[in-house]
Structures are given as C-alpha cells and as structure tokens.
Amino acid sequence: MLSSLLSAYPAKSASCWLCSFSDLPHLSSIAVPTVNCSSASVVKQAMSQIVNTIQNFCNSNSSNPPITWIGVIGGDRLVGQILRAYVECLHHKSSSHWLHYLRFAIIPAPHSLVAKLLEGHDAVLDQLCRDMWERWTELSPVEKLANTEKMNAWLTAGGGACLNLPIGEALLQLADACRVFVPFLAEVRVGQSSEDEDSPYTFSSPRGKIILINLALSGSPPNSPQVRTDAHEIDPSNVSLVNVNSMPSQNVTPNSKKDLSKGSMKATFRTLVITRSCNQHLLSLNFVKEKRKEKMLQKLGMKKGQVSRSENENPPVQVTAVSRLLCSGASKHTDLTVSVDGSTYQRVRYFQCSSQWQTHIKSFPVSLISQGVGPIGL
C-alpha cells in the first residue's frame, strides 16, 4: 500500500495511516490507506520510505514539497516507535525546513499516555478516538462511513491546529554496557508501566517493592551542541536536585552554596515518575518516599496490614521546572526497571532524562482535526 502511494507522489498524497491490525482488526476492512506496522523495523522502514520520497522531490524541485500527513492509530508503543523513527530519519536533515514537511495525525488508544496529552484539545478528535477504539461495533453503517470519510479528509485536505509536542531525551545505561538514547513525549518512570494509568504516582512493581535510589537534578538548561556528545559527563556517583527552594529542607542537600539550582538526595522511593504536559518545555518530578516507620516495621517482620495505610504513606511530592535528571540505584550492583512512554527497559544501571532531545529535532508535530487550539511553537 505504501509503495503504491509513494509512486504517485506528489500528484497524489503520500499520506497513510500507520497502525497495527492486531490492535484494531476492523482497520483492515475500512476504506482508508493503512500500513500494518507489526514491529519497530516495519515502522522505521515506512518512515524511511516517506522521508526518502520527500527528499527525492526536493532534489529535483526548487519549490517546497507539500505537507505530508502521517496518520497513527495505536497506543504508546506504536507512537514511541514512530517518534524514534522520526528523530532518526531527520537526524541528518540539517535544513530546518524539514520540520515543516511532516505532520502526524494521531488517533491514540484510550487511557494511553499520548491520549492524555491530547485529550481536551480537540472535541472532534476525542469523539473519533472513542468511536474507533470503543464504539466501533455499536456504530451504524452511516456512522462508520462518516468516520472513514473524516479520516481520509484529515490526511488529504489537511488538519487543523498543530501541537508541537516537546521531545525529551532518556539516556539509559544498561547492565551490558550498552547505552541507549530514547526520545519521549510524556513519561519516564522507575518500574514497569502501571495498569492504573489514572494515577501519576502508581508504581507497578511487586507489592511492597522498595527501591533505594540516588537522584541528580539540574535547573539549568542542557548545554549540549547540535551533535550529541554522548554521556561522558554522566557520573552515577555524582548525585544532585532542581528547584531546591521548592523542596522540603530535609529532603535535599545543596551541592554548592553558589549553585542553588542543584542539590542532592538519596532516598528510598515507592514511586518515581518524570512527566511533562504538552504545553511545558521542562519536566516535572513526582515521587513518594518510603516512610521510616514502615521500614522499621518491615525489619521487625510485621505485616503491612497491621498498620493503617495512612500512617505508613508519605504524601506525593512534585518538583517542577526540571531540565535534567540523573537517577541510579544505591549501589553499582543495583539494576533498575525503567519505562519510557510505556516501553519497558530492564537491567538499567542508571539513566538521565533531559527536557529536550539533543539534536535540532526538538518537537513532534501533531495535527488536530479542528482549529480549537493554536500551535505551540517549535
């Protein structure tokens, strides 16, 4: 399907819907151009084909190519694969014009992290998400046809407002000495993705799991060049926290009297989540520390049920305006499980989160259906 669309470009739009038929089997039977992306390699191949087609047009024409709308129907995993393919394909495109050649039309899975980012920005899109994911079998043939026409018009006639979602960077140092750079839009959490996605403070490790973690935060914007310098600056033993003045004094130790934008904290956490909303360029750190009283009781062999939950739990804490964060286990032998926008990575020795991707690709352009929201600047 994609090859046939690209062969007629630019006379015919190269726009299509990237999806997984295993998520929504009915997508294979509706009259919209779809590409079944069963794996990350298929996603990367599809994105490469689209980018190469646009590049061929630029090589033989003095005018700018038309905007190509790429539809996405899927959950956090598929959106994450497409985001990664996007930054990799445009990494070597030095011209800033490339940032305006592509737009993504996303119909996210309900309750996904991406859905939470987009929810409320476009009532038409919110309704289309519900129809495609939750109500399809209940729709009449007329309603199904109307949704199909809406999807086709979205890609061919163009969308409405554009949300330029800031792209963050998670650098993961794995136990096998492999270093992985992962772009993200919404969330990085210690532990696997939670089933209870309504709570930003839910930690999905086994019940009672406690992790002793060193934290390093910075309030200064990352001073990185266009080309990434890798992570030689990162030292797991150098722990430091941003917005020191907004933190309880007993939680944070400033690194230096001269630099109050940094501090240090070593604590046992029940939850640790780094988040960002679509209109924030900096990150937020959300955590719940273990209460000392509960730790003492566990050492004495007492069961959790013997003490009231309210007595054992610390309140959640949020630190805003974080530009960089370093997190490692209490010792060099401690491995972490880290979830980046829903994709889980095991045996992580330490990781760093930065508020912006360290190339010229700083945002992910998401097209809405209506003009309900003005664009967020690149």
- In contact, 214 and 294? CB cutoff 8 Å: no
pLDDT tens for 62-109 read: 998 989 999 999 999 999 999 999 999 999 887 778 889 999 999 999
Q: What phi-psi label fits residue 221: left (phi over 0), alpha (psi between -120 and 50 degrees) or beta?
A: beta
CATH class of the domain defined by 168-354: mainly beta
Residue 190 Cα to chain centre, angstroms: 14
**Is pLDDT above 80 for 52?**
yes
- Burial of 86: CB neighbours in 10 Å, binned 0-12, 13-18, 19+: buried
Joined tokens for residue 111: 């309750």
Out of 135-144, 248-257, 330-339, pick the least confident: 248-257
Identify the DSSP state of 185. Answer: S
Question: Which residue ranges make up each domain of the chain?
Answer: 2-165+361-367, 168-354
Higher pLDDT, 18 or 377: 18
Using alpha carbons, select from 190, 104, 112 the residue that is nearest to residue 367.
104
Tell me, what amino acid is at 364?
F
CA distances from 74 to 21, 26, 114, 140 (A): 10, 13, 10, 23
Sign of CA dihedral 335, 337, 338, 343: positive
